[in-house]
C-alpha cells in the first residue's frame, strides 16, 4: 500500500507545483484598465472635451478604446432629434492607435490614467464593456448633462469599484454649476457661450457635487486623481501623456460680466432717450431690430421649454426679458418709422413687455429662484424701460 500512496503524494505535489507556477501567469492575464481624457476641440460638439476607457488585454491584439461618443449625422431624423433633445449615441470599440489618430490631427491633447484595479475588478469591467458594445446594447439616450460620454465612463468605473467612486465624490462640491461649466467651456466661441447663458434655466444653477460635475471629462480626470482605494492606495497608478495639446484652452472660470452688462444697459437706455428727442425715426428702426431679435429669441426659449426634452431649458426666466410679445410691437414700430401713430394696442403691449422685464428684475430678490441671469436683467431691463418711456404716446 505504500507504493500507491507515494505515487498519489508525488502526483499531488506535482499538481501543487504546477498551480504555483501557473497562478502568477493567471493573475497577469487580467487586463490593464485606463481612462483616456481628450482636451476640448474647436467644433461645437468638441468644446466639452471627451473621454473613453482603455482595455489593454495581454491576450488580445492590442489596447482597445471603448468610446461612448459616437453618433451618425446621416441617421434619418438626426438633426430634428438634436433640436428636440432626443439624441441617441452609441458605444464603439476601436484600436487605441486608430482612436487617437483623429485627436492628433485636430491638435487635441490626450492623457491616459492607468488604474490600480484588482484583477477581478479589471476582468469584470472588461467583460461588462464587451457586453455593452454589442450592437443590440451599444445605443443609449444622450443628455448633455446627465447621460453623456463622460458620465457613461464614470458609471462604468463606479460599477467596477462597487460604488466606491460615487461614495467618495458625491459629498463634495467645488461650487460649479451646469451653467458655469457650459459658459466657461464655450467661452472661446462667444456665440456659443451666449446661447448657453440665454438658453439655460434655473435647473442649470444648482451647485454640483464632484460626482455630478464629472459630466465634464476633465473634471472626471481631476476627480480620479483624488480617489483612494482600500488601504489608502490611489486609484490612479500612473498618468501618461499620449498627445500634446496644440490649440487654445478654455478659461479656468466662466466670465463674469455683471459690471459690463450694467454699463451697457445704462448706455443703451441713454441712447434710446436721446434718440427719441433727436432722431425718432432712427430710434424706430433700432427698436424694430431689437423687438424682432428679442421676439424670435423668446419664441425659441418657449419652444425649448414646451416642445423639447431639454430639461435644462425648461421654465427659463429670460422669457420675461425676451418676450415673444415683442413681435406684436413690430407693426407699431413700423408705423413710427413711417412717421405715423401706432394702433391703440401698441401702448398696452409696451407696458406688458416692459412689465415682464420688471418682474424678471424683481425675481432676482427671491432666494428660492436660483436662475443666474443677472447679466441679462442688467442689460435688458433699462432698455425696455427706456423704450416704454420714449414710445408711450399717453404717458
Domain with residue 40: its CATH number is: 3.90.1720.10
The verdict on 301 and 348 lying in the same domain is yes
In a domain, residue 345? The reply is yes
The verdict on 222 and 289 lying in the same domain is no
Domain holding 373, by residue range, is 258-391
How does residue 370 score in pLDDT terms, banded at 50, 70 and 90? confident
How does residue 4 score in pLDDT terms, banded at 50, 70 and 90? low
Quote the pLDDT of residue 25. 47
How does residue 44 score in pLDDT terms, banded at 50, 70 and 90? confident
The verdict on 266 and 157 lying in the same domain is no
The verdict on 185 and 304 lying in the same domain is no
Measure Cα distances from 118 to 65, 113, 364 in Å: 20, 15, 51
The verdict on 224 and 288 lying in the same domain is no
In a domain, residue 18? The reply is no
User: What is the rounded distance in angstroms from the CA atom of residue 94 to the CA atom of residue 45?
Assistant: 20
The verdict on 226 and 308 lying in the same domain is no
The verdict on 235 and 331 lying in the same domain is no
The verdict on 131 and 232 lying in the same domain is yes
pTM of the model: 0.88
User: What is the rounded distance in angstroms from the CA atom of residue 201 to the CA atom of residue 252?
Assistant: 23
The verdict on 63 and 193 lying in the same domain is yes
User: What is the rounded distance in angstroms from the CA atom of residue 133 to the CA atom of residue 30?
Assistant: 19
The cell 452688462 sits on which residue? Answer: 261
Residues 6+ apart with CB under 8 A from 368: none
What angle (nearest 5°) sits at the alpha carbon of residue 219, between those of residues 99 and 52? 20
Final residue before a domain boundary, out of 214, 243, 272: 243
Closest CA to 291 of 231, 331, 260, 252: 331
In a domain, residue 12? The reply is no
User: Counting beta carbons within 10 angstroms of the beta carbon of residue 81, is it exposed (0 to 12), middle (13 to 18) or buried (19 or more)?
Assistant: middle
Over residues 36-47, the mean pLDDT reads: 94
In a domain, residue 367? The reply is yes
Number of domains in the chain: 2
Measure Cα distances from 393 to 65, 103, 277, 341, 348 in Å: 67, 60, 13, 9, 11
User: What is the rounded distance in angstroms from the CA atom of residue 19 to the CA atom of residue 169?
Assistant: 41
Spell out a b/e string for 222-238, using b for 16 or more CB atoms within 10 Å of the CB, else e. ebbeebeeeeeeebbee
Record the cell numbers describing residue 253, joined without a space.
472660470
Q: How many CA atoms lie within 13 A of 47 on its CB side?
A: 20
Residues 47-64: tens digit of each pLDDT: 999 999 999 999 888 999
The verdict on 31 and 111 lying in the same domain is yes
Residues 258-289: tens digit of each pLDDT: 999 999 999 999 999 999 999 999 999 999 99
The verdict on 292 and 144 lying in the same domain is no
Q: In what order do the strands lie in the sheet with 88-95?
A: 139-141, 88-95, 64-70, 50-56, 32-38, 110-115, 236-243
Quote the pLDDT of residue 5. 53
In a domain, residue 37? The reply is yes
Amino acid at each position: 500500500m505504500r507504493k500507491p500512496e507515494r505515487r498519489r503524494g508525488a502526483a499531488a505535489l506535482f499538481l501543487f507545483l504546477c498551480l504555483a507556477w501557473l497562478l502568477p501567469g493567471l493573475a497577469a492575464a487580467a487586463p490593464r484598465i485606463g481612462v483616456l481624457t481628450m482636451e476640448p476641440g474647436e467644433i461645437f460638439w468638441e468644446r466639452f472635451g471627451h473621454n473613453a476607457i482603455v482595455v489593454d488585454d495581454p491576450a488580445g491584439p492590442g489596447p482597445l478604446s471603448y468610446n461612448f461618443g459616437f453618433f451618425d449625422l446621416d441617421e434619418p431624423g438626426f438633426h430634428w432629434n438634436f433640436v428636440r433633445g432626443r439624441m441617441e449615441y452609441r458605444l464603439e470599440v476601436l484600436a487605441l492607435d486608430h482612436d487617437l489618430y483623429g485627436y492628433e490631427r485636430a491638435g487635441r491633447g490626450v492623457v491616459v490614467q492607468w488604474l490600480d484595479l484588482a484583477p477581478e475588478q479589471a476582468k469584470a469591467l472588461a467583460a461588462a464593456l464587451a457586453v455593452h458594445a454589442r450592437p443590440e446594447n451599444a445605443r443609449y439616450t444622450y443628455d448633455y448633462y446627465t447621460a453623456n460620454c463622460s458620465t457613461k465612463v464614470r458609471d462604468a468605473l463606479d460599477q467596477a469599484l462597487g460604488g466606491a467612486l460615487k461614495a467618495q465624490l458625491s459629498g463634495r462640491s467645488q461650487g460649479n454649476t451646469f451653467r458655469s461649466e457650459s459658459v466657461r467651456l464655450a467661452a472661446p466661441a462667444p456665440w456659443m457661450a451666449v446661447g448657453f447663458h440665454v438658453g439655460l434655466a434655473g435647473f442649470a444653477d444648482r451647485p454640483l457635487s464632484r460626482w455630478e460635475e464629472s459630466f465634464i471629462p476633465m473634471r472626471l480626470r481631476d476627480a480620479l486623481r483624488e480617489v483612494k482605494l482600500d488601504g489608502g492606495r490611489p486609484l490612479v497608478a500612473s498618468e501618461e501623456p499620449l498627445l500634446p495639446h496644440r490649440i487654445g484652452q478654455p478659461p479656468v472660470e466662466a466670465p463674469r460680466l455683471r459690471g459690463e452688462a450694467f454699463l451697457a444697459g445704462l448706455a443703451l437706455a441713454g441712447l434710446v432717450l436721446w434718440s427719441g428727442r433727436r432722431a425718432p425715426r432712427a430710434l424706430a428702426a433700432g427698436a424694430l431690430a431689437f423687438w424682432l431679435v428679442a421676439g424670435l429669441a423668446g419664441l425659441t426659449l418657449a419652444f425649448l421649454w414646451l416642445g423639447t426634452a431639454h430639461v435644462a431649458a425648461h421654465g427659463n426666466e429670460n422669457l420675461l426679458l425676451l418676450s415673444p410679445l415683442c413681435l406684436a410691437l413690430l407693426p407699431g414700430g413700423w408705423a413710427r418709422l413711417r412717421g405715423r401713430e401706432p394702433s391703440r394696442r401698441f401702448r398696452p403691449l409696451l407696458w406688458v413687455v416692459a412689465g415682464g422685464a420688471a418682474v424678471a428684475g424683481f425675481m432676482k430678490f427671491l432666494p428660492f429662484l436660483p436662475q443666474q441671469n443677472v447679466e441679462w436683467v442688467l442689460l435688458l431691463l433699462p432698455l425696455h424701460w427706456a423704450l416704454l418711456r420714449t414710445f408711450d404716446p399717453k404717458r
